[in-house]
Amino acid sequence: MIKRGVSPVIATVLLIMIVVVLAGIVFIWARGFLSESAVKGGKSVETSCADVNFEVQLIFNAEECNGNAAIDINNIGNIPIYGVQVLRYDSSSGSIDNVALLDQPFDGGTVTMGESSFACIGISVSSGDTFRIIPKLLAEKGERKIAYTCPEENGATVAYD
Amino acid sequence: MSQLNRKGVSIMVGYVLLISIAVALATAVFFYLKLYLPDDKQDCYEDIYLVIDQVSCVKDSGGTFSTVYINFSNKGLFSVDGAFIKIGDFDRILRQTLNDPETGLMSNCNNNASLRPGAMFCGSYRYNSAPVGKQEISVQPLIWIKNEPVICPESIVSKDILCT
């Protein structure tokens, strides 16, 4: 009987290669179900969101918006703010509305470091309304540029009293 | 002589192969996870401190714009490489930037692009407004760290003025 066979080292290498190849196949297959991470400056955009530093103020009747409500923003940090998502909390009904705004609602576009700007929010504001202003950053996703909305914890709350 | 073929890769080659695979996998995991690690954040130094010594705002005769005169001093422990000099209505945070912050702080009172500790900056700027109400002027310092501008959110100084 011929007792030839692969050596234990070859067998181990083969096993590892098979596992690695299988893991690769599973990874590529599963990647389709996971969202591709957005990147800003070679880093995950979430890390930039944590560094955003801004002041925000709700203006009830802004001259620049023909007497309608506006949001003033003052970027006192080093991360440019591309836009904002505005959520309105209605204290009477307890509902949360997403105020429809353009991707870049600010006068002059992106609010760069140290600059300030305003955005007309085009809705009527009543006493007791509370707004959560969440910054959006310009990020890259693959080949595309996208407006990435930061997690809500990176936002700021303003109220009309 | 045994017919068993005992040829195979040597133990040394086996180890080299195993280590190479481990290193390749570790490198792949490192680059994948590096994306999620926060950068070395460049923060402004703590002891940066500016003081606005004097500020005034003079409207032009036509009432279309104003000229803002400002003097401020560096009372901190580090040089300041630039500043955002901004003005706006007292009751709003919306501000118009009067200067180009990245051009430095050379002026008639200061011969260097940076404002060294103890030095004073003086400048005059056109303000595209002739406002009636109280205004607020603010100065936010900026420093360069590793060829990147870093602004100092904790060191903003401001003062109220009336344009006359």
CATH architecture classification, A40-159 = Sandwich (2.60)
Question: Among residues of chain B, what percentage have pLDDT more than 70?
Answer: 93
Q: Is residue B45 part of a domain?
A: no
| CATH number for the domain that contains residue B79 | 2.60.40.10
For residues B66 and B13, state if they share a domain: no
For residues B118 and B78, state if they share a domain: yes
The 10s digit of each residue's pLDDT in B18-63 is 899 899 989 988 887 777 776 677 788 888 999 999 999 998 888 7
- Residue-range domain boundaries for chain A: 1-34, 40-159
Q: How confident is the model at residue B4 (pLDDT cuts 50, 70, 90)?
A: low
| B85 strand-pairing partners | B139
Q: Do B36 and A46 touch (CB under 8 A)?
A: yes
Q: Count the helices and strands in chain A (H runs, E runs).
A: 2, 10
- Do the strands B96-97 and B82-89 form a parallel or antiparallel pair, or are they unpaired? antiparallel
Size of interface A-B (CB pairs under 8 A): 91
Q: Which residues of A touch B18 (CB under 8 A)?
A: 12-13, 16
Q: How confident is the model at residue B106 (pLDDT cuts 50, 70, 90)?
A: confident
**Above 0.85 for ipTM, yes or no?**
no
Q: In what order do the strands lie in the sheet with A116-120?
A: A54-59, A70-75, A116-120
Stated pTM of the model: 0.74
For residues B55 and B15, state if they share a domain: no
- The answer to whether residue B1 scores a pLDDT higher than 50 is no
- Do the strands A43-44 and A39-40 form a parallel or antiparallel pair, or are they unpaired? antiparallel
Rounded to whole angstroms, the Cα distance separating A120 from A67 reads 10
Q: Do A78 and B9 touch (CB under 8 A)?
A: no
Contact between A78 and B142 (Cβ < 8 Å): no
For residues B34 and B98, state if they share a domain: no
Residue of A nearest to B42 (CA): A78
Report the pLDDT value the prediction gives residue A131, as an integer from 0 to 100. Answer: 87
CB environment B123-133: b (16+ within 10 A), e (fewer): bebebebebee
Q: What's the domain range around B153?
A: 50-161
For residues B109 and B150, state if they share a domain: yes
Q: Could you tell me which of B134, B129, B150, B135 has the C-alpha nearest to residue B84? A: B150
Q: How many domains, chain B? A: 2
Contact between B120 and B71 (Cβ < 8 Å): yes
The 10s digit of each residue's pLDDT in B78-88 is 999 999 999 99
* Low-confidence residues in chain A, pLDDT < 70: 1-3, 32-36, 161
Q: Is residue B43 part of a domain?
A: no
Report the pLDDT value the prediction gives residue A134, as an integer from 0 to 100. Answer: 92
Q: Is residue B68 part of a domain?
A: yes
Q: Is residue B25 part of a domain?
A: yes
For residues B31 and B98, state if they share a domain: no
Selected residue of B35, B137, B158 to mutate for chain A interface (largest A Cβ count, 10 A): B35
Can you tell me whether residue B31 is helix, strand or coil?
A: helix
Q: Is residue B4 part of a domain?
A: no
